[in-house]
Structure 1
Amino acid sequence: MASRSYTEQTIKQLFGSAAGRCAFPSCRRKLIHPATEQSSTTIIGDIAHILAFSNEGPRANSAIPDKDRNTFENLLLLCAACHRLVDGQPDDYPDETLRAMKLDHLDWVDRNLENEMSDIRFPELEVVCRRIISSEIADSTAFNSLPPQDKISLNDLGPSSAKKITMGLMQAPLVANYLQSMVTHVDPDFPPRLISGFRQEYDKHRRTGAKGDGLFVLLEHFAAGGSADFERHAAGLAVLAHLFQVCDIFETTS
């Protein structure tokens, strides 16, 4: 039996896609509480298994290979109370119900991001970019020659990622204006340093084998700073979509 442990990539993908919220439809509470002056960041979420981790657990299925038990596809982000409920009453919450719950939650996240996207302004972009920016300038800051749709196809990005890119590009003019303002008034190297910060994260996950939609979610989580606030998440997605469009990240898959 495999150990009950999860890769960093899986955890970030799970929290990122769920926007750090409980997936139970009548709950959806924030599971990430940011650091304060007195305390560090606190995570109150649980990682639930759709099909049980063990052969004796709720919704057990002995046919599922060990290697698939702790994958993103078999996991659901819940608060502790909702986790206890679905595992305590597995006949009321079979695996089909939990899979539908997960998909419904992802749709709910998308709707909230779309609603929030139109409200972001320079201050929200400032918070996102200041966290990402690197002290180094990227080796390559070339503007890409591929249209977004070609990049989407090249990287095997599915409808969910494509939808989020389109959503983020709604604010591409705002992001471009913000970056130009930083170049003019603060730091002429701001855009290449921003690209460098993204490239470091992109390369880190590529080295572990991340690709496609999984890689996009990891970068989305990174851009949002792991926040459960939709305002922060929307601003991060706007920056990610802008860089997807204008720089050479996602240009190659090798």
Structure 2
Amino acid sequence: MSATYPTKVILAMKSGNVCAFKDCHKALTADGENSNPAVIGEAAHIYGESPGTKTKPASARYRSDMTDEQRNHCENLIYLCPTCHTKIDKQEKDYPPEFLFSLKKEHESWVAEQLDQCMSEISFAELEVAATALASGKHSSSNDSFEVLPPEEKIHKNGLSDAVRSDIAMGLSKSHEVERFLANMATNVDGEFPDRLKNGFKKKYLELKQSLSGDELFASMLEFAQAGKKGFRQQAAGLAILSHLFHLCEVFEK
């Protein structure tokens, strides 16, 4: 058993899609000339994943007293490039668990600071990328019965973590700018764009909801809103759009 794809999405989001080592910070999505962007980041285990076999040694830093769920939880994973992942596992004595947990915490705090800073810098250009990703075509409204709930009640009802609550609050701080952007789009580009955005957002939510929930669902929607674009500014724009629609639309309701 290894970390699930949704867990890796959350880890990548918290890590800003860059390697956690300060002297590396390599972008972990590679563009292709004739192909779609490729994810090259790896969810590296701090406490190792495998006990080993007769012919294969145990994974670096393996602990027999952990469950598979604990080993593959986001808290036991650090997002690294392939080179740094190989380094921490092949040079195990140089990278004990305490160091890696400290590195993870410091890196994810740095990412949160960068996102907060870029939230004040996002422009219509970044908002347009995120909004267009979610407004993919004309969609009819869902027939699911929803009751609009206040954001805090949605967060509690769906078991969203304090980290996601903080992200949503950060995103909602830009709601005024998002409203200005949507008004500009409706007036100067496409009068149906705001409605198409809402319906496209709900369609994507209902699609992902079939297999995901909670933080994993929110992280996957944020990944989609980034539309393959790299950088903290685009992540901030995606978060601003998602938080605005989270507040406005009938999702995360049941």
**Pairwise CA distance, 1:39:** 5.0
1:83 aligns with: 85
Question: In percent, how many aligned pairs have the same letter?
Answer: 38
What does 1:165-176 correspond to in 2, within 5 Å? Answer: 165-176=168-179
The amino acid that maps onto 1:11 is K
Q: Is 1:155 the equivalent of 2:158?
A: yes
Q: Which amino acid aligns with 1:43?
A: V
1:43 paired residue number: 39
Could you tell me which residue of structure 1 aligns to residue 203 of structure 2? Answer: 200
Partner of 2:55: none
In 2 relative to 1, CA 158–203 (structure 1 residues): closer, same or farther, beyond 3 Å?
Answer: same
Equivalence for 1:229: 231
SS in 1 for 2:43: strand
Greater shift in the superposed pair: 44-53 or 104-113: 44-53
SS of aligned partner of 1:47: strand
Query: Residues 98, 32 of structure 1: CA spacing in aligned structure 2 closer, same or farther, 3 A cutoff?
Result: same
Given candidates 96, 101, 114, the residue that maps to 2:116 is 114
Amino acid at match of 2:27: K
Q: How far does the alpha carbon of each residue in 1:195-241 deviate from its partner, in whole angstroms, 9 at most, with x for none?
A: 23322332233221x32223222222222234431111111111011
Displacement of 1:143 after TM fit?
A: 10
Instruction: Write the distance in 1 (CA, Å) between the matches of 2:207 and 2:252.
Output: 13
TM-score norm. by structure 1 comes to 0.85
| One of 149, 152, 162 as aligned partner of 1:146 | 149
AA of the residue aligned to 2:40: I
- What CA deviation, in whole Å up to 9, does each residue of 1:166-190 have, x standing for no partner? 1111211111111122222332321
Judge conservation of contact 1:35–1:41 (CA < 8 Å) in 2: yes
2 CA distance for matches of 1:14 and 1:41?
18
User: What is the distance in 2 between the residues matched to 1:200 and 1:92?
Assistant: 48
Offset of residue 82 of structure 1:
1.5
Equivalent pair of 2:134/2:200 in contact (CA under 8 Å): yes
Instruction: State how 1:94-105 maps to structure 2 within 5 Å.
Output: 94-105=96-107
RMSD over aligned CA atoms reads 2.5
Residue range with higher mean Cα deviation, 11-20 or 122-131: 11-20
Normalised TM-score (structure 2): 0.85
1:22 to 15, 19, 29: 19
Deviation at 1:68, TM superposition (A): 4.5
Contact kept, 8 Å, 1:31 with 1:228, in 2: the verdict is no
Q: 1:114 to 1:155 in 2, by over 3 A?
A: same
